Amino acid sequence: MTVTDRFLKYVTFDTQSSETTGVTPSTPGQRVFAEALVKELEEIGLEEITLDEKSYLMATLPANTTKKIPTIGFIAHLDTSPDMSGKDVQPRIVAYKGGEIVLCEEENIVLSPKMFPELEDYKNQDIIVTNGKTLLGADDKGGVAAIISAVKYLKDHPEIEHGKIRVSFTPDEEIGAGADYFDVEKFGCDWAYTIDGGQIGELEYENFNAAAAKISFKGLNVHPGYAKDKMVNASLLALELASWLPAEQRPEHTTGYEGFFHLTGMSGTVEAASLSYIIRDHDRTAFEQKKTLLQELVKRMNELHPGSTTLELRDQYYNMREVVEPKQYIIDLAFEAMEASGVTPLVKPIRGGTDGARLSFMGLPCPNIFAGGLNFHGRYEFLPVQSLVKSMETVIKIAELLAQKS
C-alpha cells in the first residue's frame, strides 16, 4: 500500500472534532479511526502499541542496531477541523496541467489559481482534491499517512540503520486540546516532530504566544424617553473600547512576525454586552504588552463608567522557539533530511499554534514538518501527491541520518 493509498483510505473516516461535547475525544469517529490504526500498526509489526481511554495512540518501531541513538518521535492528529464537514469525503486525483479545477460542476465550485495562486506551483503533478462539498482532511491525515508509511518502509528495509522510534496519533488538535492528556513520560522520547505543516518544505519551530480575552460590560437600562443622564448602554461601551484598540494590529493588516488582536465574537444589549478576543504575537515582550494594553483600556473604561467593565484573560500557549532553539541540532537534522530528500526547506514562523508548542513546554521539544496539503479547513483543500511522498521520505531520512550521526 502506497502512502497515497493510505491517505485515500484514511479520509473515509469522519473524524471532525467538536468544541461543544466536553469529552475526549470530542467525537466518536476519532476513536473509530484510532482503533483502525491499531490494527494497521499491529499488521506492520510495531510494538508497545497502546490506545488509552482518551484515544491517544502510541507505538514503537524498535531500534535495529546496538548503537546508542536518541529515541525520537513522530506525531500527527486524528481529527479534522470543525470548520467544515469531514463526512463522506470523496477525493479524486487530478493530473494537473494548470488553470482551474472544477470540483463540483452542478454547484459551480471551482478551485482556481485566481483565488489560490499557489495552485500553479503544482503544474504537471497529481493533486488530490475534494468534490467541493467537504474538506479533504490532509490536515492531518496526510501526516498520519506519512508517518505510518515511513515506519512501514523502515520495517521492510532493515538495511537502513535506525534507533528506537515512537509514533503517536492524538485527538482534538483542531480544537486546541491535542496535548491535554498527552503523556510525555510514557512517550519516552528525547524529542519529536509533529507532521502537521502545510506546503512542501515547511519547517517550523516558531509560533505565536497566545491568549484569550473576554471583556464583559454592564449597562443601566431605562426607558429611552427618560434616559438623559441615566442610561448606560453596555453595547456602546463595548463598541467604544473596541475602537480604542489599534486598527493596524488586526489580523487583516498583519503578516510575518506581526501580532494582532482578533475580535472573534460579540454580543450585546443595553443591559449587558461582551467582546471576545484572541491575542497573538511571536515576541514574548510584545505579547505581554498587548495584554497590558487591554488591561489598561478596561481600567480606563471603569474610570469613565465605574464598575461597568470586567476582563477575563488567560494564556493559551507560548512560542516554542525558546525551548527548541537552544537545541538547534533538532532543527538542523530536519533541515538536512529535507535536503537529502530533494526538498528545499522553508523555515518560517507559524502564524497560529501547534500541539508541538504545548508539548515543547511539557518537556518534549517538538518542531513541525510539512505534510504537504494546502487550503486547510475548507472545500478548496488539496494535497499534491509528490508533497505527501516527500513528507514520508523526510521522516525516513531523519531516522537514517540520526543513526549515521550517533
Active site residues: 79, 173
β-bridge partners, 128? 93, 383
DSSP-derived secondary structure for 53-107: TT--EEEEE--SSSS----EEEEEES-B-TTS--TT---EEEEE-SS-EEEETTT
> Which residues are registered as beta bridge partners of 167?
59, 74
Positive or negative: CA dihedral 216, 278, 141, 50: negative
DSSP SS3 for 140:
helix
Element (H, E) at 359: helix 355-361
What does the block give as the cell for 127?
A: 493533486
d(CA 34, CA 76): 12
User: DSSP of 355-386, one letter per residue?
Assistant: HHHHHHHTT----EEE---BSTTSTT-EEEHH
Q: How many CA atoms lie within 13 A of 277 on its CB side?
A: 27
Please list the residues that pair with 384 across neighbouring strands. 127
For the chain, how big is the Rg over CA atoms in Å? 24
In which residue are the cell numbers 530533494 written? 342
Q: Which of 138, 51, 128 is nearest to 95 (CA)?
A: 128
- 3-state class (DSSP) for residue 48: strand
d(Cα 381, Cα 6) in Å, to the nearest integer?
Answer: 18
Q: Where are the alpha helices (DSSP H) in 197-327?
A: 234-244, 284-304, 321-324
